[in-house]
């Protein structure tokens, strides 16, 4: 089996990293490329850039980001945000990105996934899903707590606009399955309940999606301790873990994350 991956995620607005960083020794802590080089040196397996620029020059800014990253960083990286067409994807892949991630554009027009897979191959296409547990379905007390008979772990809605808007008629597990059938080669699954909490990944959500699709699942949202990374892989069934603040704020390094995963018996690149 391929090694399990640790993937730092950088939110980028108009070419600048949004979340602050506490790294010492960076020339420019807001420069996504300098941060990416740092993560590469620490042993990151891949990088994800999520662009949240809301301007007309959006495509130009993500292409420029992809180009500058490819010039300086020699690990695979994904660009998400603002990819709405084959042309958008072509531009960032030509610039040196390895994959594109799509979210709301695929919900509005699911055929986009097939168009991207036909043109570039499924290995280039990541479906990003922002999921939130449905309110009438309270989470169990702990992942170790046995579920009652006949209860299969709940349902999760699919959200857009940073978790503010639920997409009618979609649930995360069936959307993941459909997206993969349409051509996505990987699922980037974010728990909006856990995102920003440091309480750990939503293991039930991760497990439910990982069991539903035949492609790798990247767990995202909630990592606060290194033990959370191991849990996402062992209990959640994830193939990779996405982390933002745990690294950005200097709480842990990627190298420490790798050490912890290895100590927990998980095969990683070191």
Partner 1 sequence: MSDARVLILDYGMGNLRSVEKALEHVGARAAIGSDPDEVRSADGLILPGVGAFPRAMERIRATGLDRLIAERAAAGTPILGICLGLQLLFERSEELGGAAGLGLLPGAVTRLEAPGLKVPNIGWAPVRWERESPLVAGIPSETPFYLVHSFVARPAAADRLGTAEYGERFACAAERGNVFGVQFHPEKSSAAGLALLANFAGICAKAPAAA
Residue from 113, 137, 111 nearest 125 by CA: 113
Among 98, 130, 202, 204, interactor with partner 1 by CB under 8 A: 98
Among 28, 54, 57, 72, interactor with partner 1 by CB under 8 A: 72
Task: Please say if 199 is a catalytic residue.
Answer: no
Nearer to partner 1, 169 or 214 (CB): 214
Residues in the chain: 270
What's phi and psi for 36, nearest 5 deg?
-65, -40
Calpha distance 111→97 (Å, rounded): 22
DSSP assignment letter at 17? E
Nearer to partner 1, 43 or 221 (CB): 43
Annotated catalytic residue: which of 11, 51, 202, 239? 11
Q: Does 76 bind partner 1 (CB under 8 A)?
A: yes
**Residue 182: CA atoms inside 13 Å, Cβ hemisphere, count?**
21
Task: Please say if 239 is a catalytic residue.
Answer: no
Among 28, 57, 60, 71, interactor with partner 1 by CB under 8 A: 71
DSSP 46-92: -EEEEE---STTHHHHHHHHHHHHHHH--S-EEEESS--SHHHHHHH
**∠ CA 188-98-173 to the nearest 5 degrees?**
20
Annotated catalytic residue: which of 88, 130, 202, 239? 130
Nearer to partner 1, 95 or 158 (CB): 95
Nearer to partner 1, 74 or 151 (CB): 74
Token pair of 223, please? 């990592």
The distance of closest approach from Cβ of residue 11 to partner 1 in the complex, given in angstroms and rounded to an integer, is: 23
> Taking CB under 8 A as the criterion, which residues in 171-200 touch partner 1?
185-186
In this structure, the number of other CB atoms found within 10 A of the CB of residue 14 comes to 13
Per-residue binding string, partner 1, 18-57, x by CB under 8 A, is ----------------------x--x-x------------
Calpha distance 152→26 (Å, rounded): 47
Nearer to partner 1, 12 or 126 (CB): 126
What residues line the site for partner 1 (CB under 8 A)? 1-3, 5, 40, 43, 45, 67, 70-72, 74-76, 93-96, 98, 121-123, 185-186, 214-216, 239, 269
**Which positions are annotated as active-site residues?**
11, 130
């Amino acid at each position: 089996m391929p090694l399990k991956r640790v993937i730092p995620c950088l939110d980028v607005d108009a070419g600048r990293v949004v979340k602050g960083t506490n790294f010492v020794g960076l020339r420019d802590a807001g420069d996504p490329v300098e941060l990416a080089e740092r993560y590469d040196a620490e042993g990151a397996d891949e990088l994800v850039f999520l662009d949240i620029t809301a301007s007309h020059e959006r495509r130009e800014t993500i292409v420029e980001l992809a180009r500058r990253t490819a010039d300086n960083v020699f690990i695979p990286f994904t660009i998400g945000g603002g990819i709405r067409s084959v042309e958008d994807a072509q531009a960032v892949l030509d610039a040196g990105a390895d994959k594109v991630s799509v979210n709301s554009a695929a919900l509005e027009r699911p055929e986009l996934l097939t168009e991207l897979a036909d043109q570039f191959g499924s290995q280039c296409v990541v479906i990003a899903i922002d999921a939130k547990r449905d309110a009438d379905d309270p989470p169990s007390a702990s992942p170790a707590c046995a579920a009652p008979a006949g209860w299969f772990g709940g349902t999760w809605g699919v959200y857009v606009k940073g978790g503010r808007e639920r997409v009618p008629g979609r649930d995360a597990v069936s959307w993941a399955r459909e997206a993969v059938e349409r051509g996505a080669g990987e699922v980037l699954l974010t728990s909006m309940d856990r995102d920003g909490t440091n309480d750990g990944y939503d293991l039930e959500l991760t497990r439910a999606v990982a069991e539903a699709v035949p492609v790798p699942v990247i767990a995202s949202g909630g990592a606060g301790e290194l033990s959370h990374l191991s849990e996402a892989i062992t209990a959640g069934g994830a193939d990779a873990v996405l982390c933002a603040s745990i690294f950005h704020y200097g709480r842990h390094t990627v190298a420490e994350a790798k050490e912890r995963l290895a100590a927990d018996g998980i095969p990683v690149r070191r």
